[in-house]
Amino acid sequence: MVRRLDVGRSSRTPVKHEILHSMLGKVCGVLSADSDKVPCKATWANPLVCVDLCGGDGLRSDDHDCSPMIMFDHCSELAKRGKRSKLEVIEKMDNTFEQLAINCGHLPKDIVTLTKGDARNYRLPQLGHNQPAFVHCDPNSVDQIPLTKPFVQGFNRFTTYLVTLGCNVGGQKMLPFSKRELWFEYVTLLTDVPPSHHDDILFWLNSDSAQWAYLLSIPKVWSDDFAAKMIKKTAEMWTHGLSAASYRRERRRFDNELKRLFLTKEEYERQ
């Protein structure tokens, strides 16, 4: 039996939160600058659309952060600069949503919407041609993936995302390959979407028995610098360090690392 772990409470979580914080912070920083060189805009009629598909309990404490609050922080900073954003946080489990409502129910309703439901039924609003959007998706296992093809088809050319790949969390690799191959389908679904001016970066924790990894869509001009900064910034958060591969520049390495993450050692050595 595959063992379930508490969402967002592992020793790996700070790395994921740093990637989320840095990426969304960079997006919001560019939008707040309101430069003529930036093709997408965050305005009252054209807000930055953010969605957290696996909201969790929304608990922030002295020693623990959470994705809804990290995302709200950046949306709030945009508001201070006269830019509009909307954040929808979705949580399926009854008890977890109750805690989410307690911990995040005080957030301003003009920015944050808390939704109880199955994220697989969620669709992005129809995005304008120059409207920015950011999607965070943090399933705890391969059978909890909430992203669907109809949802992804709602992306526009300014949609970026961060998704979690818990490749061996709780012993996922004990599952038959017919179930684990969903990870490959998931990544293919996502890497087929970004336009030519975007890159996908695969991050993974080195020497991690749970094999946590993260897939990030990012403007190609930011890709190399962002990956290098994340590796440096997270060095003290995970003893063995973080590694990265670019879909656009290192496709062979990117594909090889996916196989290493998603396959058992025996399967990997046979392919």
pTM across the whole model: 0.93
Closest CA to 49 of 119, 111, 139: 111
What is the C-alpha separation between 50 and 161, in angstroms, rounded? 9
The answer to whether residues 131 and 154 touch, using CB atoms and an 8 Å cutoff, is no
Q: What is the pLDDT of residue 6?
A: 43
Res 1 pLDDT > 50: no
Chain mean position to CA 110: 23
What residues does 209 pair with on adjacent strands?
none
What is the pLDDT at residue 34? Answer: 77
**Token digits of residue 104:** 């995040």
Which value, to the nearest 10 degrees, does the dihedral of the CA atoms of residues 194, 187, 144, 6 take? -100
- Summarised one tens digit per residue, pLDDT across range 199-253 is 999 999 999 988 999 999 999 999 999 999 999 999 999 999 999 999 999 999 9
H or E segment and range at residue 90? strand 85-91
Task: Tell me if residue 94 falls in helix, strand or coil.
Answer: helix
Structure-block tokens of residue 264:
């058992």
**Nearest alpha carbon to residue 48 among 30, 67, 21:** 30
pLDDT digits (tens, 9 = 90+) for 4-24: 334 445 678 999 999 999 999
**Pairwise pLDDT comparison (3 vs 22), residue with the higher score:** 22
Which domains are delineated in the chain?
Answer: 13-32+39-270 (3.40.50.150)
Q: Which of 216, 208, 124 is nearest to 164 (CA)?
A: 216
- pLDDT at position 9: 54
Residue type at 36 in one-letter notation: D
Q: Give the neighbor-by-neighbor strand order of the sheet with 112-116.
A: 112-116, 85-91, 48-52, 133-137, 159-166, 212-219, 198-205, 242-246
